[in-house]
C-alpha cells in the first residue's frame, strides 16, 4: 500500500462523504430556512403550471404559393383533473361532473373516462372538448369560479381558404388531422406526442406529418388556487418551433375548375398532368368529403358506410377497365411490329359484329363502321377493326406494350403510401392459372381495353402523358420531388402517327372526341366507354394540348356516366379551356418562378 494506512484512507473517504452531506445540508438550509417564506407563499397561494404552447403546423400551398390549408383559432375546453376534483368527493364530485357535462355537452361517463385517462401525466390538462362555440365558452367563463381547473384555451384547427363553402377541393390529397389513436399512442409517445395531440391521419397531413408538425414549446404560468392565471415566468419560456410548409404541384385554380366541372351527381376522377415533368396540376376524386367531418362521429360514420365510397381516392385507388382509351396500345404494338401501316385498308369492312368460334363480338356501332384504316378505326373507335388487329398482335406482344406504358404496375406517385392500386394486365399465364386455359377470344376483349384488364385513372393519366411526351414519367404532387423519366422504346414516327390520329379524333367533325374541341388550340384525345358488369358504362376521355407541343394532359373518368364522347370529353374541355385561360401561351411556371411569388399571408397567430 502506497498511501498510508486504512484508517487514513478511511478519514479521507469519509471526509468526502461529509462534504457531500454538507452540500445537501446547505442546500436544504437554503430551501427550507432561508427561502422558506418564498416557497411557502408559492405552495399556499400560487402554483406554477406548465402550459404547452402549440407549434403552428406547416401550411400546404399550391405551386404558386396559394395557401390550401392553414391554421385557424378555435376554442378548446381543457381541465386539470386533480385541481377540479381536489375539493369534491362523493356526491359533490358527481354533482360537479353532472354540471360539467351540462356545460360542455358530453355524457357523465365520457367525462369520467377523460378525467381518468391513464396516459396523462398527473398535472397535465385533459382536453374535454375541442372546437366549441362561443356559447359554451361564455358559459364556462361565467362558471369558472365553481369549476377550478377548467380552462378555456385557444388552439389551432385546420382551415381551408380555397374551399368554396361546403365544396372541398382535393380532400383526398390534402387528407386530414385527427386525435391520435389510443393504440398508436405508445409508439408516438417517444416522438414527443401527447395522448390528446392531433396527428395527420391521411393524405399529405399524414405523409408529411414529421415535417409539418414542428415542435411544441412550453411556458410557465402562475395560477392561484382558483386556477386563474396571475402571472408568468417569461425567462422560463421555451418557444415552439413551427412546422415546415409543404408545396404541391397542384394549381388551385385548375383544381377548382376541375372540382366544379365534376358536378356533385357524378362519380369519378380527373387528373391533369404536365407531360414534360410529371407534375400533377389537378387531381379530383368525386364524390368528396369534407376533411373536418372527422371531428363529427355521425358524419364520419355516414361517410364510411356511404355506398358511393366518398373516402376512396378513385384517382389512385379505383380500378376500371380502360376500354377504348387503351386502343392506342394495340395500335402502337401493330405499328411497331410492322403488322400494318396507318393508312392501310387491311381488314374486311365492319358490319357491326364479329363472329369468333361460337360467339359474336359486337362493335359499339350497331350498323357497322364500314371499311376503315387505322386512323379511321381510332377516330370512330371501331371495335371490329381492333378485334382483327388484336388477333394479329397477339397476347404476348400486347401485354408487353401495355407494360411499357406502366400498366399493371403502381405509378409510385409520391403519395402512393396513402394506398395505390396496381391495376391488372393479364397475360397468357394469368389465364392459364385463373381460367384453366388461354382462349383466343380473350384477346378480342383485351384489344379494345375490356376483359380482365384493369387500370387506375392515374395509370391512364401517366400513359396519356407518355403519349404526349414520349417519356414515361413519375407523376408527383410534391413540388420538391424530382422528375424521373424513362424514354419509351418506341419510334418517333409511330408516336407521331398516334398523336396525329388522336388530333383527328377531336378535330374531325364526326370524330368521337369532337366535344373537346377548343377554338384556338388544337387538342388530341381519345374517348372510351367501358362496359362493366355492375352497372352503367364508365365514360373515359384522355386528351393533351396543344397537340403539336403538349403542355397539359387531362384524363377524365366518369363512373357509370355513359359514353366517353358525350359525358367525359366536355369535362376535359372545361379543364383545357381553364388551363389556357390561366397560362395563355406561357409555359407552366416552374419551381423557381413559384418561389418568386409574393410572400403569402401569415399563419393565424395563436
Binding positions for other proteins, rule: CB under 8 A: 1-3, 6-7, 9-10, 12-14, 17-18, 20-21, 23-25, 27-29, 31-33, 35-36, 38-40, 42-44, 47-50, 52, 80, 82-83, 86, 121-124, 216-218, 236, 238
74, 155 in Cβ contact below 8 A? yes
Which are the contacts of 471, defined by CB distance < 8 A and separation ≥ 6?
275, 485, 486, 487, 488
Q: Compute the CA torsion angle 353, 355, 358, 364 (nearest 10 deg).
A: -30
Nearest to 153 by CA among 253, 229, 70: 229
Nearest to 385 by CA among 406, 401, 405, 364: 364
327, 526 in Cβ contact below 8 A? yes
CB of 8 to other proteins, least distance (A): 10
Residue number with CB closer to other proteins (28 or 417)? 28
Residue number with CB closer to other proteins (180 or 258)? 180
Residue number with CB closer to other proteins (235 or 358)? 235
CB of 19 to other proteins, least distance (A): 10
CB of 136 to other proteins, least distance (A): 25
Which are the contacts of 460, defined by CB distance < 8 A and separation ≥ 6?
322, 325, 540, 542, 555, 557
Residue 376, all three cell numbers: 379511321
CB of 417 to other proteins, least distance (A): 24
Environment class of 139 (CB within 10 Å of its CB; exposed 0-12, middle 13-18, buried 19+): middle
CB of 164 to other proteins, least distance (A): 40
Phi-psi region of 298 (alpha: psi -120 to 50; beta: other; left: phi over 0): alpha
Residue number with CB closer to other proteins (194 or 422)? 194
207, 418 in Cβ contact below 8 A? yes
Residue number with CB closer to other proteins (93 or 346)? 93
CA distances (Å), origin 311, targets 70, 79, 301, 318, 411: 22, 34, 11, 11, 21
CB of 72 to other proteins, least distance (A): 25
Residue number with CB closer to other proteins (40 or 484)? 40
| Other C-beta atoms lying within 10 Å of the C-beta of residue 454 | 19
Residue number with CB closer to other proteins (188 or 518)? 188
CB of 114 to other proteins, least distance (A): 15
Residue number with CB closer to other proteins (80 or 177)? 80
Where b means 16+ CB within 10 Å and e means fewer, 414-452 reads bbeebebbebebbbeebbeeeeeebeebbbbbbbbbbbe
CB of 322 to other proteins, least distance (A): 48
Residues present in the chain in total: 606
Nearest to 461 by CA among 282, 327, 279, 272: 272
CB of 17 to other proteins, least distance (A): 6
Residue number with CB closer to other proteins (6 or 534)? 6
| Other C-beta atoms lying within 10 Å of the C-beta of residue 82 | 11
Residue number with CB closer to other proteins (69 or 97)? 97
131, 76 in Cβ contact below 8 A? yes
Where b means 16+ CB within 10 Å and e means fewer, 224-249 reads eeebeeeeeeeeeeeebebbebbbbb
Residue number with CB closer to other proteins (232 or 570)? 232
Residue number with CB closer to other proteins (89 or 492)? 89
Beta bridge partners of 161: none
CB of 103 to other proteins, least distance (A): 22
Beta bridge partners of 558: 268, 539
| Other C-beta atoms lying within 10 Å of the C-beta of residue 73 | 12
Extract the runs of DSSP E, i.e. beta strands, from 209-332: 217-224, 229-232, 246-247, 267-273, 280-286
| Other C-beta atoms lying within 10 Å of the C-beta of residue 48 | 13
Residue number with CB closer to other proteins (144 or 422)? 144
Residue number with CB closer to other proteins (47 or 485)? 47
DSSP conformational letter for 323: G
CB of 242 to other proteins, least distance (A): 15
Residue number with CB closer to other proteins (72 or 93)? 93
Angle at 418 between CA 413 and CA 423, to 5 degrees: 60
Amino acid at each position: 500500500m502506497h498511501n498510508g494506512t486504512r484508517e487514513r484512507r478511511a478519514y479521507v473517504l469519509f471526509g468526502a462523504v461529509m462534504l457531500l452531506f454538507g452540500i445537501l445540508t446547505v442546500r436544504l438550509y437554503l430551501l427550507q430556512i432561508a427561502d422558506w417564506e418564498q416557497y411557502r407563499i408559492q405552495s399556499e397561494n400560487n402554483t406554477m403550471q406548465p402550459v404547452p404552447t402549440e407549434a403552428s403546423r406547416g401550411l400546404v400551398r399550391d405551386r404558386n404559393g396559394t395557401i390550401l390549408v392553414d391554421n385557424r383559432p378555435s376554442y378548446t375546453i381543457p381541465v386539470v383533473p386533480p385541481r377540479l376534483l381536489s375539493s369534491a368527493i362523493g356526491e359533490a364530485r358527481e354533482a360537479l361532473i353532472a354540471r360539467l357535462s351540462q356545460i360542455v355537452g358530453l355524457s357523465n361517463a365520457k367525462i369520467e373516462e377523460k378525467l381518468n385517462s391513464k396516459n396523462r401525466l398527473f398535472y397535465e390538462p385533459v382536453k374535454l372538448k375541442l372546437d366549441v362555440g362561443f356559447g359554451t365558452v361564455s358559459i364556462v367563463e361565467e362558471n369558472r369560479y365553481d369549476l377550478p381547473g377548467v380552462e378555456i384555451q385557444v388552439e389551432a384547427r385546420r382551415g381551408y381558404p380555397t374551399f368554396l363553402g361546403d365544396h372541398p377541393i382535393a380532400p383526398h390529397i390534402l387528407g386530414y388531422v385527427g386525435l391520435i389513436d389510443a393504440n398508436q399512442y405508445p409508439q408516438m409517445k417517444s416522438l414527443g406526442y401527447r395522448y390528446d395531440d392531433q396527428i395527420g391521419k391521411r393524405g399529405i397531413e399524414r405523409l408529411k406529418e414529421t415535417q409539418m408538425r414542428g415542435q411544441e414549446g412550453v411556458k410557465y404560468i402562475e395560477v392561484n388556487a382558483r386556477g386563474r392565471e396571475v402571472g408568468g415566468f417569461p425567462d422560463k419560456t421555451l418557444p415552439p418551433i413551427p412546422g415546415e410548409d409543404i408545396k404541391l404541384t397542384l394549381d388551385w385554380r385548375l383544381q377548382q375548375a376541375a372540382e366544379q366541372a365534376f358536378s356533385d351527381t357524378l362519380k369519378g376522377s380527373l387528373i391533369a398532368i404536365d407531360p414534360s415533368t410529371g407534375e400533377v396540376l389537378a387531381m379530383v376524386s368525386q364524390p368528396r368529403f369534407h376533411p373536418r367531418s372527422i371531428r363529427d362521429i355521425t358524419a364520419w360514420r355516414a361517410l364510411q358506410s356511404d355506398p358511393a365510397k366518398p373516402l376512396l381516392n378513385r384517382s389512385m385507388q379505383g380500378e376500371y377497365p380502360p376500354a377504348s382509351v387503351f386502343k392506342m396500345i394495340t395500335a402502337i404494338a401493330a405499328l411497331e411490329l410492322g403488322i400494318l401501316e396507318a393508312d392501310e385498308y387491311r381488314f374486311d369492312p365492319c358490319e357491326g359484329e364479329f363472329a369468333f368460334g361460337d360467339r359474336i363480338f359486337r362493335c359499339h356501332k350497331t350498323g357497322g363502321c364500314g371499311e376503315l384504316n387505322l386512323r379511321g378505326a381510332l377516330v370512330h373507335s371501331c371495335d371490329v377493326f381492333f378485334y382483327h388487329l388484336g388477333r394479329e398482335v397477339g397476347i404476348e406482344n400486347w401485354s408487353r406494350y401495355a407494360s411499357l406504358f406502366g400498366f399493371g404496375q403502381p405509378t409510385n406517385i409520391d403519395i402512393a403510401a396513402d394506398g395505390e392500386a396496381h391495376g391488372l394486365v393479364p397475360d397468357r399465364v394469368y389465364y392459364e392459372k385463373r381460367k384453366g386455359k388461354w382462349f383466343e377470344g380473350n384477346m378480342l376483349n383485351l384489344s379494345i381495353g375490356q376483359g380482365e384488364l384493369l387500370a387506375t385513372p392515374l395509370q391512364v393519366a401517366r400513359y396519356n402523358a407518355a403519349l404526349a411526351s414520349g417519356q414515361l414519367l413519375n407523376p408527383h404532387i410534391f413540388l420538391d420531388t424530382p422528375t424521373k423519366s424513362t424514354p419509351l422504346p418506341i419510334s418517333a414516327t409511330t408516336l407521331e402517327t398516334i398523336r396525329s390520329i388522336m388530333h383527328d379524333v377531336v378535330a374531325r367533325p364526326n370524330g368521337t372526341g369532337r366535344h373537346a374541341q377548343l377554338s384556338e388550340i388544337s387538342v388530341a384525345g381519345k374517348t372510351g366507354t367501358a362496359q362493366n358488369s355492375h352497372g352503367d358504362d364508365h365514360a373515359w376521355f384522355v386528351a393533351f394540348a396543344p397537340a403539336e407541343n403538349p403542355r397539359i394532359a387531362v384524363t377524365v373518368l366518369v363512373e357509370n356516366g355513359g359514353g366517353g364522347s358525350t359525358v367525359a370529353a366536355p369535362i376535359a374541355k372545361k379543364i383545357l379551356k381553364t388551363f389556357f385561360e390561366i397560362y395563355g401561351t406561357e409555359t407552366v411556371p416552374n419551381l423557381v418562378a413559384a418561389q418568386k411569388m409574393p410572400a403569402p399571408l401569415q399563419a393565424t397567430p395563436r
